[in-house]
Structure 1
Amino acid sequence: MLDNHSDCDNLGGPSCSRRSESPVSDREDGDFFGLDDLLPEPESPLPAPYSFSTYEIPDDVDLKINDEENRGRQLVLRLVGSHPLWGHHLWNTARVFSTYLQRNPPLVKQRRILELGAGAALPSIACTLAGARQVVITDYPDNDLVENMRFNVDVNIPGDLRGNVDVVGHLWGHDVKHLMARTDNEGYDLLILSDLVFNHSQHDALIKTVNSTLSSSPDACVLVFFTSHRPHLVKEDNAFFPRLAASGDGWVYQKVVEEWAGAMFEDDPGDEKVRGTVHGWKAWRVQQGEQPGEIH
């Protein structure tokens, strides 16, 4: 069950004003941005204050954890006050994704998991609580983002599980030695990509990291969840999957979720149904008897 808190809920922290228009809607081009645009903005004399949002673990999810600090079933996520990579929002996709992961234990329990572009790291935290063997949380190597992810881990993960979690910066398409070393170079059983495919110019870089970090285990897979926040670019968002299928030794992909979560920003243009629907896909390397591409 999704909660109704916005990403500007004030839980004792500084207040913030919620934008009614998404940052992604500010760009009309299909490529969105390139590597030069990923460079952090110069520091301002007065950085924007943090905001906080919450996520309720569904009642039907059975979590057997030792929670000496009595956190209950509510996760509290701190969000950076402002960021050019939009880490200052807790996206509806992340909420749906986290619920899906917790309701599908075989995907998570005792598995090595890597999240790319994690933002507030909600899906990774959900995986840790659901019994993952190891979770490595990554985002663009910007100090504000990385330190904020560490804060969210400290706040939401009980002490006896924190040794299962690592937070590190990673730039898609670049050297993955620091990520692979954390698995003794065996790779990860599950990769998590939450609301990343809107960045069309970075599809190839993202796919390069995916091909370089997923283990060779036959049950290893990638979960890609996203919302098309710009309805006129749905085709470009979905182009990620055939591009992935054609990469490496070939990939198969299949839709596993289509869920209405509500539009994040009421003033955005385009069909509200498109802007408020989360799509979830599972992808895995081609196995014997399979052909690259979509399974319907």
Structure 2
Amino acid sequence: MSLTSRIALAGPEGTDPEDILSESLGVVFPDDVTNQHGDPDSWLVYTSPHLPKPLQLKLCQPGDDTERRLFSHYLWNSSLLLAELIERDSYLAGKEGAVEGDEAGSVGIFDVKGRRTVELGAGTALPSIMGGLLGADEVLVTDYPAPPLIEALKTNVDRNVAAELTPLGRVSPDVKVIGHEWGTFPVGDELTGKRHAFDRVLICDCLWMPWQHGNLRLSVDHLLKQTTEARCWVVAGFHTGRAKMAGFFDEEALRSEAGCEIEKIWEQDCDGKHREWVKDQAEEDPTTRKRWLVVAVLKRVQGET
């Protein structure tokens, strides 16, 4: 089943030319895949066969050009993929029809049950919402501290982390949304007191700004527990080009700035096909590269905890 099959628009059709063009590409070019979803005038409906009811996701209305350039007013395929991986390993594991193995050997590693999670650059917070519905002990949702974005995130969390939407009959007892600018932890800031507090750090489509890689790594280091079991999950699309995103995975920078190393990394397309991660590769055409994402699992460097 295609990665994008669970998502649909609800409400009036968007009038923004950018949104209209994006939504029409699949008709004009049948091989094209939509990798950004939604418009601020509509809700996104996320339907999983394993949840009692569909989720409804609000997109923020950017207040100015600075906020618009964050591209947080869309749901990206990286969030769809991580949400499915969390659902697979946190709820479906062991059930009839569950995936027993895959080409990437990733089954079982995206379980949030009983864990404290924090998402950076959350956008719509879909992976965090899935964690809140499927057994995480604590869920902290963060993104750039722009009021329209934080307001939309709070709306999504309040609306969707609800008992009637989880197959477990209960939700995470501690779910919160706060603003966070990567790499900054001012005195008195709530996240300053969360140093090394989280079992899992979630990152989706935050690698398209090479100038922010260092700050993003610093936030990972600050928030991720200093234990051998702690992990950071990173999923990102190739739509802005491989070269822009690949630098985040520089081994020396990960070690020195995030205190982490790569445990597992692969590429996956919107139909579930896997292939080996290649840092330096000739750029594919825009239609092809939109279909692919990189998925990485980072762990603490041993001896530096």
Mark yes or no: TM-score above 0.5: yes
- Tell me how far apart the structure 2 counterparts of residues 166 and 14 of structure 1 sit (CA, whole Å): 30
In 1, the alpha carbon distance for the partners of 2:42 and 2:124 equals 11
1:117 corresponding residue in structure 2 = 121
Q: Which residue of 2 aligns with 1:51?
A: 42
Look up the match of 2:248. 240
For residues 181-225 of structure 1, give each alpha carbon's deviation from its aligned partner in whole angstroms, at most 9, with x where no partner exists.
3x5x55111000100011111111111111111111210011110
1:3 Cα shift? 4.4
Q: Secondary structure at the match of 1:85?
A: coil
1:272–1:3 CA distance, 2 compared to 1 (3 A): closer
2:177 aligned partner: 167
Match of 2:294 in 1: 279
Q: Secondary structure at the match of 2:183?
A: coil
- With over 3 angstroms needed to count, the CA separation of the structure-2 counterparts of 1:173 and 1:257, relative to structure 1, is same
> Who is 1:98 aligned against?
83
> Within the alignment, does 1:157 sit opposite 2:155 as a pair?
no
- For 2:150 and 2:172, the matched residues in 1 are separated by 16
CA distance in 1, matches of 2:77, 2:130: 15
> What SS does the corresponding residue of 2:130 show, helix, strand or coil?
helix
The answer to whether the Cα contact below 8 Å between 2:134 and 2:171 also exists between their aligned partners in 1 is no
CA contact (8 A) 2:218 2:258 kept: no
Matched, 1:20 2:35: no
Q: Percent identity?
A: 30
Q: Does 1:205 align with 2:215?
A: yes
Pick from 197, 204, 218 the counterpart of residue 187 of structure 1: 197
Q: Which residue of 2 aligns with 1:126?
A: 130
Please tell me the residue identity of whatever aligns with 1:252.
Answer: E
- CA contact 1:251–1:285 (8 Å) conserved in 2: yes
Q: Quote the residue 2:74 is aligned against.
A: 89
Query: Any unmatched runs of 5+ in structure 1?
Result: 23-47, 64-71, 263-268, 291-296
Correspondence 1:147 to 2:151: yes
SS, match of residue 247 in structure 1:
helix
C-alpha spacing 1:128/1:217, structure 2 compared with 1 (3 Å): same
Shift of 1:114: 0.6
Contact 2:138/2:172 (<8 A) preserved? no
Whole-Å separation in 1 of the counterparts to 2:153 and 2:141 = 8
- The partner residue of 1:214 within 224, 227, 231 is 224
Shift in CA distance, 102/108, structure 1 to aligned 2, threshold 3 Å:
same
Aligned to 2:57: 77
Root-mean-square deviation (CA, aligned residues, Å) is 2.7
What SS class does the counterpart of residue 256 from structure 2 fall into? coil
Helix, strand or coil: the match of 1:239? helix
1:69 corresponds to which residue? Answer: none
Is the 1:51–1:81 Cα contact (8 Å) retained in structure 2? no
Question: Is the 1:3–1:55 Cα contact (8 Å) retained in structure 2?
Answer: no
Q: What is the CA-CA distance between 1:57 and the residue it aligns to?
A: 2.4
Q: Which digits, 9 at most, give the CA deviation of each residue in 1:134-190, with x for residues without a partner?
A: 010000001100010010111111156364210000001101641253x5x551110
Tell whether the 8 Å contact from 2:227 to 2:300 is kept in structure 1 after alignment: no
| Secondary structure at the counterpart of residue 124 of structure 1 | helix
* Count of aligned pairs between the two proteins: 240
CA distance in 2, matches of 1:166, 1:215: 19
